[in-house]
Amino acid sequence: MAHPFATLTPDLVLDAVESIGFLSDARILALNSYENRVYQVGIEDSEPLIAKFYRPQRWTNEAILEEHQFTFELAECDVPVVAPMIHNGASLHEHNGFRFTLFPRRGGRAPEPGNLDQLYRLGQLLGRLHAVGATKPFEHREALGVQNFGHASLTTLLEGNFIPKSLLPAYESVARDLLKRVEDVYNVTPHQNIRMHGDCHPGNMMCRDEMFHIVDLDDCRMGPAVQDIWMMLAGDRQECLGQLSELMDGYNEFHDFDPRELALIEPLRALRLMHYSAWLARRWDDPAFPHSFPWFGTERYWGDQVLALREQLAALNEEPLKLF
């Protein structure tokens, strides 16, 4: 059977945007997105808009609207975020079986790795994000946890026959050892789940005119605050300590960070490694994935994954980063 996105043609994209009252100039540009489909659509006598078409059957309408509501709350508190446009009284629209949302076009560049001045300002932005996120929980979005990001990921990979037989015993063994260690750390580390970005890599914190703004809250969920922090760190341990200090100086101006959560950095990194492989496996029926990730399923990829998980297991046995 054809994948649902196979019917999302350029004409359908233009028809969807025009179905809610915009007049396109027929210019359309596909943007870099795999989980959903995102397009820049030209509008007659106006700035282009960004149209995001949600992957069918991934989120419920309630979960999507909860994401939108979170961005609206952030915007109302003057947190710089690219929020969905409300048009005809709604932020979520439907056309020919596809749910879509429009955003204003907002360009920018990603932060420079290790730039301490930028990290201080990113810390301020994350503190403001979490100050809003901590005011109430999500009701329709799951929390990040060892079960759904770890054990469920391993089950997907083992049952889907994605791992070459020659590497299957090694991968399964190290993955199970790693998950046991992750669970142990989770169980002894105090942490509070709050509404957070969920996929806060530097590419989702864009800078324009010397101001940072948050983009793409598609993966927002409940989880520990440190999940949105650790991906801002790069380099060796000493470099990460200096970067963490700058981040926290900015962060704590707006929201109190519990330093005990730093012990979760390596467990969360481990879960992300496994979840990424499982994400590729779950999306393999989408023609965009084999085309864009041809190395998935090769012995080289899975050999590298075995090595990465072993290195991650070793990292979990090291002393966590600490604030001084």
Q: Of all helices (H) and strands (E), which one includes residue 170?
A: helix 168-188
Closest to 155 measured CA to CA, from 144, 164, 147, 166? 147
Closest to 65 measured CA to CA, from 174, 15, 140, 128? 140
Residue tagged active-site, from 216, 228, 249, 258: 216
b/e per residue 72-107 (b: at least 16 CB within 10 A): ebbeeeebbbbbbeeeeeebbbebeebbbbbbeeee
Residue tagged active-site, from 11, 25, 45, 199: 199
Distances (CA, A) of 198 to 29, 64, 145, 238: 27, 14, 12, 26
Q: What letter represents residue 131's amino acid? A: A
209 is catalytic: no
Write the DSSP assignment of 236-290 as a string of letters: SHHHHHHHHHHHHHHHTTTS---GGGGGGHHHHHHHHHHHHHHHHHHTTTSTHHH
Q: Residue 179 in contact with residue 150, Cβ under 8 Å?
A: yes
Write the DSSP assignment of 19-68 as a string of letters: HTT--EEEEEEE-S-SSSEEEEEEETTS--EEEEEPPTTTS-HHHHHHHH
Query: 11 among the known binding-site residues?
Result: no
The residue assigned the tokens 């947190």 is: 79
Neighbours of 293 (CB within 10 A): 14
Tell how far CA 31 is from the center of its chain: 17
Neighbours of 298 (CB within 10 A): 11
Judged by DSSP in three states, 206 sits in strand
Query: 204 among the known binding-site residues?
Result: yes
How many whole angstroms separate alpha carbon 242 and alpha carbon 321?
11
The two structure tokens encoding residue 179: 């998950």
Q: Annotated binding residues, as ranges?
A: 204, 216
Q: Which residues are annotated as a binding site for Mg(2+)?
A: 204, 216
Catalytic residue positions, numbered? 199, 216
